[in-house]
Structure 1
Amino acid sequence: AGLQQSNLIILAARPGLGKTALVLNVARYLSVEEKEPVGIFSVEMSKEELVDRLLVRQADIDAWRLKTGRLEEEDFTRLSDAMGVLAEAPLFIDDTPAISVLEMRTKARRLQVEQGLKLIIVDYLQLVRGRQLENRVQEVSEISMGLKNLARELKLPVLAVSQLSRAVEVRGGQRPRLADLR
């Protein structure tokens, strides 16, 4: 039944397999089509990069043409329309580098009170700042626990993007484990 309140959903895959594209499509659909407020904490990409991706998707134009400046007349019209639609969407992007779960919590609470936030997206988990623990697995585990607590406290789903280590490929055929979140 979709994204459930108080759930932490971790979307994990190897680099370059479309994780960010998928969560941006979710964010765009919810905020544009359903008018549901969505908060994105992007630790990997800048706000401008995300907006470019959202515009390309909303305008249904070729990303390469936008990147290389080879837009056609029709593309400009579509981009202009897409800008208007996205400007009206309740979509909030925070691209603070190395943000901590505590900082996210403060910002998300404010968004929930002021905007009625319905979903938080974190892209991506391993770049969230944690305490310097003995090893990265412990640190990622603690960050995950913090995000789960955030989902429970705010009673909304948190969708976190994560990269998988090569260990999954080496093991072959087995489901990824928490230790595979690199």
Structure 2
Amino acid sequence: MKILETPLRDCFIVEPSVFKDARGYFLESFNQQKFQEETGLVVNFVQDNQSVSQKGTLRGLHFQTGEAAQAKLVRVILGEIQDVMVDLRPDSETYLQKFSCVLNSENQLQLFVPKGFAHGFVCLTDEVIFSYKCDNYYDKAAEAGIIFNDPQLHIDWKLPQEQLIISEKDKGLPTLKEYLNG
């Protein structure tokens, strides 16, 4: 497993070792000891989630607030996504900066999303199976988000807006400015 730094503080790309042969492949999707040695972060994942989505589905930008904040390790089991995160930690030198990358079932990359980040993704292939580990349990009362097309963030979702499939809940999220002034 290789840990690659991103431009955002405490956000890492995790590149697992993939062993391929005539039968298929094997990979270790997470190793807590190696992750801690490489990043210096102690993370105890307590919940795994999975979603299945079709091309154009956009989920985000989501996060949990307060004591319910979650760090996540995200990956794609099938298909391809454009993954996006925004640092919302006021004390961070990368505050309000964003990072995005392509995760897919070919490159097997994973993304570590620290607590205090907004996170979202859009599906670029006909079917996507998306999986992620969380270090805190989901709390509906603590869920929050920022609108996907926030004018301050200028996120390139890689698909035209008319092709995006977005939940009514996500369409109603506040802008970054509204959230910060909330």
Q: TM-score, normalised by structure 2?
A: 0.30
Which protein is richer in helix relative to its size? 1
Which protein is richer in strand relative to its size? 2
User: Is the radius of gyration larger for structure 1 or structure 2?
Assistant: 1
Highest RCO, 1 vs 2 (Cα 8 Å, sep ≥ 6) = 1
Q: TM-score, normalised by structure 1?
A: 0.30
